[in-house]
Structure 1
Amino acid sequence: MCMGMFIALIDIQIVSASLRDIGGGLSAGADDIAWVQTSYLIAEIIVIPLSGWLSKVMSTRWLFAASALGFTLASLLCALAWNIQSMIAFRALQGFLGGSMIPMVFTTGFIYFDGRQRVLVAATIGAIASLAPTLGPVVGGWITDISSWPWLFYVNLLPGLFVTIVVPIMVRLDKPDWSLIKGADYPAMLLMAVFLGCLEYTMEEGPRWNWFSDDTILATAWISGLSGIAFIARSLTSANPIVDLRALRERNFALGCLFSFITGIGIFATIYLTPLFLGRVRGYGALDIGLAVFSTGIFQVMTIPLYAALARRFDLRWLLALGMVLFCLSMWEFSPITHDWGAAELLLPQALRGMAQQFAVAPTVTLALGSLPPARLKLASGLFNLMRNLGGAIGIAACATILNDRTNLHFLRLAEHLNASNEALNNWLAPSLGASGQYSEQALRQLWSLTYREAQTLTFADSFLIIGACFAVAVVLVPLLHKIAPPSQPSADAH
């Protein structure tokens, strides 16, 4: 099941470093090719909160097996896509089928294991949840460099078929209850799909179209807001809601969802910013970008045994606080970034981020879901995982907006100092001064490019500091959590 979750999560970002290659292969423009990633995210974010209800209807093992098989077939269709429209449709199908696997792993881990084993399970699942998106650009860049973009999807076939065959054999948690289909709250499902779909679209496309100055973005924002209010009202008054919003009354679960949201901002926004910096400012290719960010994953894997050892001896709340502090420190180390930073300069901040992800995600899983009885885990797990993806979507949208707005601001501030009284500038331009007393056009273009590069670099530093501020807020909230004592006996559902 962890393998299924891993391939579903890594496919969020596996195309990010190779969108240009996919666009070239399908003869698609920049606006169209962005939907290769957006369609996957919209479909995934819609199905994640539905997975709890679906697993009650079909049972955990058969829903997981069907999702794995469908995800595998959708991956094959993506590799065989003949134009950009077919690719977008198949990616949406892939995201919808892959997204349903993610929450079930969290639920199953807490039902199968008890006591101290839960610490290791949470560490493993948490590591995969944060490591897979981090490795996406690395794996995608490497595959595209040594082969071609269809292999971004062909690599899913073997593990997908393996999961499809093995999960029904080994996983026996519950039995299907098809009678739930008859009394399901379908209006709530529709409201939730419209709410999350429009919200994800607004977050993804807003920075590109200058937010609410665009009529489409304004319309989707209103639709999302109104349908979201209606969905929440219906879920809180329904006897059998499809998403257990009442679980938010539990302080640990509510705070756990908030921390999941913040870690989603940190994980996805930094995955977005770092490759973008290396591509725009340094001019790195897909493989070079992958190798430069690979250190995050290495340090996170190395931290898993350390976390597991400490989690058996110390209060998980303080390990969570340590993770949030490490994330703050990582963003602080990113902030002095300059235009010549590469893999060597990024090593320390990325090492801290890798360690932070392990210490931030794993205890959040235990503290949030460990506070709920097994009967509520399925419906609540979808909400918990949804918050991480929403945090990622909002974090990326915010960073894209910051990059657009702050770059112009920094450029204007730098340009104010590029005048005749700047001696260093005069010396730099002197060789290009013509007989007519005018500087050459080539020199002025080069000056503009250098100024714009520095403005971009300053904006990336701003973005990292803002992400760090989010984690600073989270550190303050950690003491509000209750301590979770793992149960000494397995639950009845584990038999």
Structure 2
Amino acid sequence: MTAATADALPAPQASPAPERADLGAWLAVAAGSLGALMATLDISIVNSSLPTIQGEIGASSTEGTWIATSYLVAEIVIIPLSAWLERVLGLRTFLLIATTLFIAFSMMCGVSTNLTMMILGRAGQGFTGGALIPTAMTIIATRLPPSQQPIGTAMFGVTAILGPVLGPLVGGWLTENISWHYAFFINLPVGAVLISLLIVGLPHQKAQLSQFREADWLGIAGLALGLGGLTVVLEEGQREQWFESALIIKLTGVAILGFLLLLAGQIFARRPVIRLQLLLDRQFGSVALMGMVLGMVLYGTSYAIPQFVAVVANYNALQAGHVVLLAGIPSLILMPFTPLLMKYIDIRIAVTFGMLVMAYSCWNDSDLTALSVGGAFTVGQLLRGVGTIFVMLFLNQAAIRSVPPAFAGDASGLFNAARNIGGSVGLAMLATIQDQRLWFHSRRLEETLSANSLAVQDWVAGTARSMGGTSAAIRSIESNVQLQALVMTYNDIFWLLALGILIVTPLVLFLRPLPKGAPMAAAH
């Protein structure tokens, strides 16, 4: 599951909203919710069909993580920029541009024939689709009167949860019944409806292009270079033998340069693209760190589970989507009760409960065997859904409440950027861990199969008679060794995710109780 962000909410440009919103306002809210649904859907729509896509474009399983990672990295960059771009271009113009480009990049993904083309298309989707997520809350805050904003917020919350939950299922169904290409082509008709709603529901606002001069260009460039370079280093380091590779050395330099530029923006820019000084706050720094680990778990499990059931259990994309869907059921059930949860449960108790439940869910998935099928993930997925709603709900509120109201938008953007950074770094690390542990377990298993062992010789002789030769028997041994090593590798991955959650759980001690009786802050 993923979440969206409401960055700094700009003041309405027109007269104050009436006590009851008109049809145009509700059409604008529908447009914002549809845009958020489309963007969050596409974060996870490729997960269940990833094995099929990898096969058709000639990508390995570790290279395939880039199809998910590139979207997240691009989204990290655009989320903090959304509020500024709204002011520069005007909300309707900004959303029309973002939606049009999102459709174009979706078509690019749909016609991709190689990994490079797919990654470029996914990065473009992330950069433009990420803009559709925080602006949904902006529309609610500026087009609806206070008395009707809870309805709009509920609409947004449902779509934001439905997107990641339905993504693997929709992608799997399209892959199995039509083609994986339509997991991207589906954005064309949906995008056309969204553009129509934006034109009808949102008034035109004059662009303020002069604000381009005030932008934190050092921070923007640093964010892209730093996070992009770091992710590539983590993703490709294992295959390139780390610093024995000139490419990895150069990319490390790019990442360091990027982070230095980001730091320079903190010093010289009047309004930095991300206010890193907020991390110095004890509560907010703890929330951001827990958010990073949360991102690792959310995106890591949504990637690892479809891969496992596809390779080990021979599930098709639709079957894998059903397994991923389970994690969203508890979230949808608990969503209507979130105001009561916020009112009566102490934040430290709620976050501790959620973190421990998520840790147990990952540990529960660490005893897989070569005979495991999708049902082995049922308990873990349902528990993960329960833990996610508690952790995400309360950490979102803690992030905003831990800073002055003037910086609430910056805090929300930084928290969600931290979550996505955790997701992208987590996916890159999982690819590295998968390579290393697969090699390790394969070698250890091979060491137990001595050619001089009578048991091995008898098995080879018996298998050779049934399979038509010694070569076929040896290939069968190799295949079984790889299968067992792969299962052990996935067990290691889930165990490490559980350990990561437990390591950061004590940070809940730095959290402060939320104000009693305060309304929920506008964030997701």
Give TM class, smaller chain.
Answer: 0.7 to 0.9
Q: 1:381 & 1:327 partners in 2: Cα distance?
A: 23
Gaps of 5+ in 1: none
Q: Does 1:450 align with 2:480?
A: yes
TM-score (norm 2): 0.81
Match of 1:263 among 261, 274, 294: 294
1:10-49 superposed matches below 5 A = 10-19=41-50, 21-22=52-53, 30=60, 36-49=67-80
Q: 1:424 & 1:122 partners in 2: Cα distance?
A: 65
**Structure 1 residues 476, 42: CA separation in 2 closer, same or farther (over 3 Å shift)?**
closer
Structure 2 partner of 1:385: 416
Q: 2:288 & 2:205 partners in 1: Cα distance?
A: 26
Match of 1:182 among 189, 213, 217: 213
* AA partner of residue 75 (structure 1): S
Deviations 1:2-44 (A, max 9, x none): 332232122133234435655676x655598776545434433
**Structure 1 residues 35, 452: CA separation in 2 closer, same or farther (over 3 Å shift)?**
closer
By how many angstroms is 1:336 displaced?
Answer: 1.0
Structure 2 partner of 1:463: 493
* AA partner of residue 324 (structure 1): M
Deviations 1:249-296 (A, max 9, x none): 433332222222111000011112111211222232222222233222
Structure 1 partner of 2:251: 220
**Structure 1 residues 21, 327: CA separation in 2 closer, same or farther (over 3 Å shift)?**
closer
Q: Does 1:327 align with 2:358?
A: yes
- Check whether the contact 1:116–1:486 (CA below 8 A) recurs between aligned residues: no
By how many angstroms is 1:300 displaced?
Answer: 2.8
Q: 2:464 & 2:196 partners in 1: Cα distance?
A: 72
- Check whether the contact 2:221–2:258 (CA below 8 A) recurs between aligned residues: no
- Of 447-456 and 281-290, more deviation after overlay is shown by 281-290
Deviations 1:36-88 (A, max 9, x none): 54543443332223223223323445433432333234324544567776555
The root-mean-square deviation of aligned C-alpha atoms, in Å, is 3.7
Q: 2:275 & 2:79 partners in 1: Cα distance?
A: 13
- Check whether the contact 1:58–1:176 (CA below 8 A) recurs between aligned residues: yes
Structure 2 partner of 1:482: 512
Q: 1:39 & 1:475 partners in 2: Cα distance?
A: 29
Structure 2 partner of 1:473: 503
Q: Using the aligned pairs only, state the percent identity.
A: 31
**Structure 1 residues 24, 479: CA separation in 2 closer, same or farther (over 3 Å shift)?**
closer
- Check whether the contact 1:296–1:350 (CA below 8 A) recurs between aligned residues: yes
- Check whether the contact 2:69–2:428 (CA below 8 A) recurs between aligned residues: no
- Of 5-14 and 15-24, more deviation after overlay is shown by 15-24
- Check whether the contact 1:106–1:381 (CA below 8 A) recurs between aligned residues: no
* AA partner of residue 45 (structure 1): I
Gaps of 5+ in 2: 1-31
* AA partner of residue 454 (structure 1): Q
**Structure 1 residues 396, 23: CA separation in 2 closer, same or farther (over 3 Å shift)?**
closer
By how many angstroms is 1:183 displaced?
Answer: 2.4
* AA partner of residue 493 (structure 2): S
TM-score (norm 1): 0.85
Q: 1:274 & 1:93 partners in 2: Cα distance?
A: 26
Match of 1:64 among 73, 83, 95: 95
- Of 194-203 and 382-391, more deviation after overlay is shown by 194-203
- Check whether the contact 1:337–1:461 (CA below 8 A) recurs between aligned residues: yes
Q: Does 1:229 align with 2:260?
A: yes
**Structure 1 residues 214, 281: CA separation in 2 closer, same or farther (over 3 Å shift)?**
farther
Equivalent position SS for 1:312: helix
- Check whether the contact 1:122–1:365 (CA below 8 A) recurs between aligned residues: no
- Check whether the contact 1:114–1:486 (CA below 8 A) recurs between aligned residues: no
By how many angstroms is 1:226 displaced?
Answer: 2.8
1:145-160 superposed matches below 5 A = 145-160=176-191
* AA partner of residue 214 (structure 2): G
Paired residues in the alignment total 487
Match of 1:244 among 269, 272, 275: 275
Q: 1:127 & 1:101 partners in 2: Cα distance?
A: 15
Equivalent position SS for 1:320: helix
Q: Does 1:279 align with 2:293?
A: no
Structure 1 partner of 2:331: 300
Q: 1:9 & 1:490 partners in 2: Cα distance?
A: 22
Deviations 1:167-214 (A, max 9, x none): 576578998644322222323322222222222333333344344333
**Structure 1 residues 113, 209: CA separation in 2 closer, same or farther (over 3 Å shift)?**
farther
Deviations 1:97-152 (A, max 9, x none): 11222334466678899999999988886776566345433321211111123311
Q: 2:427 & 2:176 partners in 1: Cα distance?
A: 26
Match of 1:194 among 212, 216, 225: 225
Q: 2:118 & 2:438 partners in 1: Cα distance?
A: 33
- Of 182-191 and 27-36, more deviation after overlay is shown by 27-36
By how many angstroms is 1:453 displaced?
Answer: 1.2
Equivalent position SS for 2:326: helix
